[in-house]
Structure formats: structure tokens, C-alpha cells
Structure 1
Amino acid sequence: MTTTDSGIPEGLASSGIETLIARLREEGVSAGRDQAGEIERAARRQAGEIERAANERAAAIVEEARREAEALRKGGEEALRIAMRDTVLRLKSELSDRFSDEVKRLIAAELEQQSFLQQLILEVGRAARAEAGIDAGQAVDIQLPKALVGPEELRRNPLELREGSLSHFVLSIAGNVLAEGVTFSVGDDDSQGIRLSLRDQDVQIDLTDDKVAALLLAHLQPRFRAILEGMVK
């Protein structure tokens, strides 16, 4: 039987080496298997964490998008509500302005009618004496619209003027129909209507188109707005 230098039989030595190699191989495989398992478990844990983080991020993005969409919806509704409110207010204002303009136009047109002015002059003259407490000794001036009566016409003889004209009417009644002390003049502005004033006192009755329109609108405008409130909401 052949022996090794250490005195161990050669067959036994070879068998021991193989056994050692096999054991080392088995231990290496087992260690590698354990390490591979640990790597796999770590990878699974990391993948799970990544998946959870991705899900949380996706949920946050969806929630943020939902909040932004809701904010845009509310903002759009508010903008639409404000636009509708402004439109209604603008419409009411425009209708109110048109109503005022129409009232002023109608009054100005009426005060341009000579027959109406003639009646107005008579009524104002009578009222000035009978109702306003003006005695016969007070001088009253009635100012006429220059668009219908020229200053030079008031100085002419009534017989020289066209019968039926306002100038003819004024000069015809100045001395008899109205009380003495009543004089006529022509206004400096372009107003229609007449003004009555006491020359010795700071008293004036303004029946021009602007004043009459303002008086009527003070009465009519609130009622017109109430009608608009019922029609335009």
C-alpha cells in the first residue's frame, strides 16, 4: 500500500481531499444560495417600496388635478356670475339712460310747439299773480326761448309780425291779457321753454326743458327702475 509523506495511505488521503472539496463546494453553494435569497428578498422589498411610492405619487397627482379642476370650475362659475351681473347692471343703466333721453326729447319737442308755449305763458302769468302772491306792483319778466323768438322781434309792432307766431302772440297780450308790469326777454342759451323771474327779488320759476325734464324724471325714474327690476333680473 502506498503511503504519503505523512504516513497516511494514499487512498485515504485522496478520499479526504475529495470529501473536503465536496464539503467546501456544498458550503459555497449553500452560502451562494443564501446570498441569492437575501438579494432576492432585498430586491422584492425595494420593488415594493418603489411601487408604494409610485402609487402614492400617482394618487397625489390625481388629487391635485381634481382640486385644480374643481378650482377652475368654481372660478369659471364665479366669472360667469360676475359677467352676468355686470351685463344686467349695464343693461339697466343703458335702458335708464335711454328712458331719460326720451323723456328729455319729448319735453323739448313739446316746448318747441308754439301753441303749447302760448298756453304755458298764459298759465304762468296768471299763476304768478293769483297763486304765487305777486302783487300788481311787482315787475315780472318772462324769458322766452331764442330759437322761437328773436330779440329784434320783441321790439317790432305786432301788426308787422306773422299772425299766429309766438312773437305776435307775446306782443299782442303783453299789454292787456297779462297784468301790467310783465315784460318779455329772450334767453341767452339754447333751452326750450320759459323762465319767469321777479326783477326786484331773487325769485325765478324755471320751466325750461332741462328743468321740467329733471322734475319729471325725479318722479318717473324710480318707477321706471322698479319696472326694470321686475323685467330684468
Structure 2
Amino acid sequence: MADARARQSGVEELIRRLHEEGVERGEKEQARIVSRAQSEAAMLLDSARAQAAEIVAAARVQADADRRSAREAVRLAHRDALLQLRQDLEALFGQLVRRLVKERLEQRDALAGIVDEVARSAIACGLRGAVGIELAGPHSDPEPSAPDVLDAHVSALVVELLTCGIEMQVARSNSAGVRVRLEAGTVEVDISPDSVAAMLLDRLLPRYRSLLQEDARP
């Protein structure tokens, strides 16, 4: 009887010990799993943070590059717009000068003044008989005569020039102006709207450009 109780007690003790050992092993395994999971989670978190930092840094670099590119594009667009505006203004200025010169040379008093100055200079230089003056002006008459194109002042000047040995002719032309020929055409000076405007623009455009540049400064 005592032996049976002893065996029963031993079995119970064995069961208790096995239970305790199983619980202890389970707790240790659980702790190991939790520790491993925490370690892996920490590693994943560190990796994610590093990747996020790299992404943010790359985004900042790209944003800086995009800003620089945008500023450069704006600068180039501004420069091109200014250049185009200057070219347009210069072209407009040239058209205005040519139009004003043409309108002025089509006025008879202006032509008379030019012819008068040319003739006086020729006479003063002793070029009598060596100078020919051709006066051109727009007209509709297919066979214009001197009085039709020249006013009284120029007509009187023609008479005076002839007495000095200077030949003057009226040319049929669609553009006003004066052409002076020296020594049978060896030297020719063209005082036409285009030539006068070109001469004026050679002098005026540099100054006009400098004024545009001054106005464009901030």
C-alpha cells in the first residue's frame, strides 16, 4: 500500500516537474521570440529611417536642381524677350527714321536746300562745268517738266546753276532725292531717302541702343 502511494507521489512529482520545466521552456522561448521580433523590428525601423532620409536628401537635391533650372529658364526667357524687344524697337525706330526722311525729302523746300548747298559747295570748290545735279521726285505725269516738279525757288536756282556751268536735270523717279555726279560720272553721291536714312541710323542707332540698355537696367 505504501509502495503504491509512493509511486503515485513520484508520478505526480514527475508531472509537476515536467509541467514546470515546460512552462519555463515556453516562457524562455516566448522571450527569445519576442526579443528576436523586437530586434528585427528595430532593424527594419532603422532601415526604413535610413531609406527615408536618403529619399528626402535626393528630393532636396532634385528640388534644388529644379529651382536652378527654373531660374535659368526664366533668366534666358527674360534675356531673349529683351533682345527681341530691342530688335523690334530698333526696327521700328529705323522705319520711323526712313519714313521721316522720305517725307522730308519729298518736300520741295528741303530739296531746294540740298540742291542749293550742293551747288554753292561746287561753285566754291571751282567745279564749274564738272558737276551734274539730278533732282528726283515722285510724280504721276509720265513726262514731267521742271516747273511741274520744282517750285519757284528751285526753278530760279536752276537758272543760276546753268549760268555757273552746273548742269541740273529732273529725273523720273518714284523716290525723292538728289544725285550729284562729278567729272562725267566718275564720282557719284546719292542723296536719297534710303542713303540719308542709312547714314542717320549709323549715327543714331548706337545711341538708341545705349538708351534702351539704360532703361532696361533695374
Structure of larger gyration radius: 1
Cα deviation code 1:139-177 (max 9, x no counterpart): x433332404856224xxx6xx46xx5177666554543
Shift of 1:111: 0.3
Residue 127 of structure 2 corresponds to residue 143 of structure 1: no
User: 1:122 — aligned with what?
Assistant: 116
After superposition, residues 71-150 of structure 1 pair within 5 angstroms as: 71-131=65-125, 134-136=127-129, 138=130, 140-148=131-139
Conservation of the 8 A alpha-carbon contact between 2:136 and 2:176: yes
Aligned-residue sequence identity (percent) comes to 34
Name the amino acid aligned to 1:204.
E
Q: Select between 19-28 and 202-211 the one with higher mean Cα deviation.
A: 19-28
Shift of 1:27: 1.7
Conservation of the 8 A alpha-carbon contact between 1:197 and 1:205: yes
**Number of equivalenced pairs:** 216
Cα deviation code 1:25-65 (max 9, x no counterpart): 22211111111111010010011112112222222232233
Q: Whole-Å Cα distance in 1 between the matches of residues 133 and 77 of structure 2?
A: 52
Name stretches of at least 5 consecutive residues in structure 2 with no aligned partner: none
Residue 5 of structure 2 corresponds to residue 20 of structure 1: no
The alignment's C-alpha RMSD in Å is 2.7
Conservation of the 8 A alpha-carbon contact between 1:112 and 1:193: yes
TM score, norm. by length of structure 2: 0.83
User: 2:175 — aligned with what?
Assistant: 191
Structure (1/2) with the larger helix percentage: 2
TM score, norm. by length of structure 1: 0.78
Name stretches of at least 5 consecutive residues in structure 1 with no aligned partner: 3-8
Q: Whole-Å Cα distance in 1 between the matches of residues 183 and 144 of structure 2?
A: 22
SS in 2 for 1:206: strand
Q: Select between 17-26 and 63-72 the one with higher mean Cα deviation.
A: 63-72
SS in 1 for 2:127: coil
Q: Whole-Å Cα distance in 2 between the matches of residues 201 and 110 of structure 1?
A: 27
1:187–1:215: structure 2 CA closer, same or farther, 3 Å change rule?
farther
Q: Whole-Å Cα distance in 2 between the matches of residues 193 and 51 of structure 1?
A: 90
Residue 202 of structure 2 corresponds to residue 218 of structure 1: yes
1:170–1:212: structure 2 CA closer, same or farther, 3 Å change rule?
same
User: 2:165 — aligned with what?
Assistant: 180
SS in 2 for 1:145: strand
